Amino acid sequence: MVQIGLHAGQQDISSDELRKLWRFADEHGFDFLSCWDHFYEAPPKDGMSDTYEAVALLGAMSVETQNVRLGTHVFCMNYRNPALLAKSIATIDHLSHGRIELGLGAGWHSEEHTAFGYEFPSVKERLDRLEEGIQIIQGMYQGDGMSFSGNYYSVADVKLHPRPIQNPIPIVVGGRGEKRTLRLAARYADGWNVPYIHLEEFERLSGVLDMWCEKEDRDPTSVERSINLHMHMGATEADGERIEKERAALFGSRPEQRGGTIIGGPQRAIERIQHFAEAGAERVSIAIRPPIDWDALQAFAEVVIPAVK
């Protein structure tokens, strides 16, 4: 059975509507609710879109909801000391009564790095930092009294109290890099997330992850696979046909094949999610951005979720 998530982007939306969106997910059968980790708009335009910070949002999400699991897709390791991030997420684990997951990535948004005073190093260094950060966070969650000395981060007998409710908090590595990112997922993570890619690419990358799991002497089925899909579904089949025509005019025939997108009516959404589930996706999250089509979201909850779960 595939899990269904809602990836609620916190950009160009009021805090009141964002909280309404969280409550909707919590009350309408979604399994997972996530935000992203950006200080500026994504993808970047002029940097002036209203965007909320992720740790603060997760704290609010944890007390605004009761049922859904919570997380990020994904935290940029460069933005926070990993020991402090581990402490923050452990706190949210208590606020949410054990519903938090920690998504981690190497980061890519050079503009916000520069604007907020962070270095934007090479891909290799960002991935090295990611690996060191994961080692610290994982060590803090798995035991008490963690010491680590790396090239970029260090901790000295750091203790985490109170201990997290979950033992340990699940770690999800996000990204599609075949040489390092997927290997890090195989080596350390409980889950792997990838956004907005087409079905064939998801299948191929999932196979690469299997290969790295074998090299790490790990059961590939122990790494949960998830994908985010852009949501362009209409509330009715007629609305879906209109949206398909509009998107085809912009992108050509079968526009959903240009990336990870749900386009069309509820039936097309059901088929799209089922195809990804058959390809190995254990969780599919729909990515919602304003202006929110509440009728379409209601139809997704009432028609699509019962059909795929």
The predicted-structure confidence for 5-40, as pLDDT tens digits, reads as follows 999 989 999 999 999 999 999 999 999 999 999 988
Q: What secondary structure letter does DSSP report for 227?
A: E
Residues of the chain falling short of pLDDT 50: none
Q: Token pair 């290799």 is at which residue? A: 124
What is the full DSSP assignment across 126-157? HHHHHHHHHHHHHHHHHSSSEEEE-SS-EEEE
pLDDT at 57: 98
pLDDT at 258: 60
User: What does the alpha-carbon distance between residue 60 and residue 300 come to, in Å, rounded to a whole number?
Assistant: 25
Q: Are 211 and 272 in contact (CB under 8 A)?
A: no
CATH fold group of domain 3-308: TIM Barrel (3.20.20)
pLDDT at 43: 74
List alpha helices for the chain, DSSP H: 15-27, 54-64, 82-95, 110-115, 123-142, 181-188, 199-215, 237-251, 266-278, 294-299, 305-308
pLDDT at 250: 66
pTM, two decimals, is 0.94
Q: Are 78 and 104 in contact (CB under 8 A)?
A: no
pLDDT at 75: 97
Q: Is 291 exposed, middle or buried (0-12, 13-18, 19+ CB in 10 A)?
A: exposed
Smallest CA-to-CA distance from 76 within 48, 45, 46, 111 is with 111
Three-class SS state of 295: helix
> What Å distances lie between residue 225 and 43, 127, 194, 215, CA to CA?
24, 20, 8, 18
User: What does the alpha-carbon distance between residue 79 and residue 82 come to, in Å, rounded to a whole number?
Assistant: 9
Supply 44's token pair.
Answer: 């970047």
